[in-house]
Amino acid sequence: MGAAAEPPGSAPESGDPSRALLSLAETMGHLDASPHYSPLVLAGLVRAVEFALLCATGVLVHLAYVVPQVGYSFAYEIAVPSMAALTILAFQALRINNVAAYRSPIGQGFRLAGGWSLVVLAALAVIFFLKLDATFSRVWMMGWYVLGLGTLLVERGILSLVTAHMTRTGRLDRRTVVVGGGPAGAALLEELSKQKDTDLRIIGVFDDRTDARSPDVVAGYPKLGRVDDLVALARHTRIDLIIFTLPITAEGRLLTMLRKLWVLPIDIRLAAHTNKLKFRPRSYSYIGSVPVLDVFDKPIADWDVVMKVIFDRVVGATALLVLSPLLLAVAIAVKLDSKGPVFFRQKRYGFNNEPVEVFKFRSMYTDKLDFTASKQVTRGDPRVTRVGRFIRKTSMDELPQLFNVVFKGNLSLVGPRPHAVHAKAADRQYDDVVDGYFARHRVKPGITGWAQINGWRGETDTPIKIQRRVEHDLAYIENWSLFFDMYILLITPFALLKTENAY
């Protein structure tokens, strides 16, 4: 079918970082293709596992000792999960539910034992003062204390090995770059270097200045290039955090750089430790002890990612099962209508501008397929087959993208629609028509989206159509929630009834 070209774009989007820049960045940051795992999600999973372990050991001792002696007692069903929940809260108060604690199981093991012991002692005190000796067995309590403590310590030992491996492979690091060299950049880098147990991995410095105010090495870290180079590098490897060291008074420079960087799916912060303009403490967030102002957040992160992935896979698999007769019928119709394959595969923009191959039912004659969408389909287009006209008008041709959602994971059920690599509006590339077009790629693309249910689907023969589509895509990204996705999915079948723009 021919190789698809690299996605086009403006200079900062399509420009490739130099081989020297990539080589240096890889040396500094060990930048491989390994995915990043959220420390917040990891901590949440550990809490859930430890709660389950405490409940399991409490029930086990109850079944092994109490039930044979005095029979089943409903009171234990209340006591076990209550004490387990209090223990998790105690661990949180003692600050041993974080990645730094997971890395040092021996030192944190004493605090863990202290937290569990405190909860058990409190439970014994409640039993004593409320005269519940006849209700709860002290042997059960002590047996649960010993077995629960041993299980937690073993679990933390295993967790430390897993965390160490994830740390070595860079799975828990936030790959960070600093924008702005000179004294302000050096001060920030020195402050960050003093922090212990940090998850930051500094890759280097980027600065548009090339004079003496921005040396080639800042506090031991190399200057890797200009902001345009940073945008190009972020398209080739994972970067999680960008910290600006420019003062707030440098408004012009800040806006110029942010205009280039806001299209990336990256957290952007403005360091505030050297700014003379002071805000109330609650206005700041902190990276360790360094105060920063939040400029942009990655749109969907941490638990939101987990929920969206689960939602996509579960609902997508269900849809595949329910729609399988329809998929089979369309496949037969396509095959009988014209010669050629049933499916059409096309390169489109994916998350962070990465090209992804999406599946569709073939709607054109085989010898007239347009893999790069260099020419848009118009009303009465002779390239489209008879069956193709119907499935395009009803969007049935998009149904095979459920395979992308369920099996490949490079599409979501809901998100900005992925555009073909050479798609145009009025003979102009989309990114030439819409300023900030690539910001729609900060999230994974979807089969349906906010723009589609509001009527902005089909042909984009005028600039206003792609502008409205992008506006709706950006509104979706800024207001995303799982309920928003559900609403869009529910409305989509009704929106498909409006077929005036679909050919």
Tell me the C-alpha distance between 137 and 124, whole Å: 10
Residues of the chain short of pLDDT 50, as ranges, are 1-15, 29
| Domains delineated in the chain | 11-35+173-296 (3.40.50.720), 39-168 (no CATH), 303-495 (no CATH)
pLDDT, tens digit, for every residue of 343-364? 999 888 889 888 899 999 998 8
Residues 6+ positions from 125 with CB-CB distance below 8 Å? none
Residue 384 in contact with residue 503, Cβ under 8 Å? yes
pLDDT, tens digit, for every residue of 31-65? 555 677 899 999 999 999 999 999 999 999 999 99
- Virtual torsion, Cα 120, 122, 124, 125, nearest 10 deg: 170
Q: How far is CA 466 from CA 46, 428, 478, in A?
A: 45, 11, 18
Tell me the C-alpha distance between 295 and 239, whole Å: 16
pLDDT, tens digit, for every residue of 245-291? 887 767 788 888 888 898 899 999 988 866 655 656 666 788 877 88
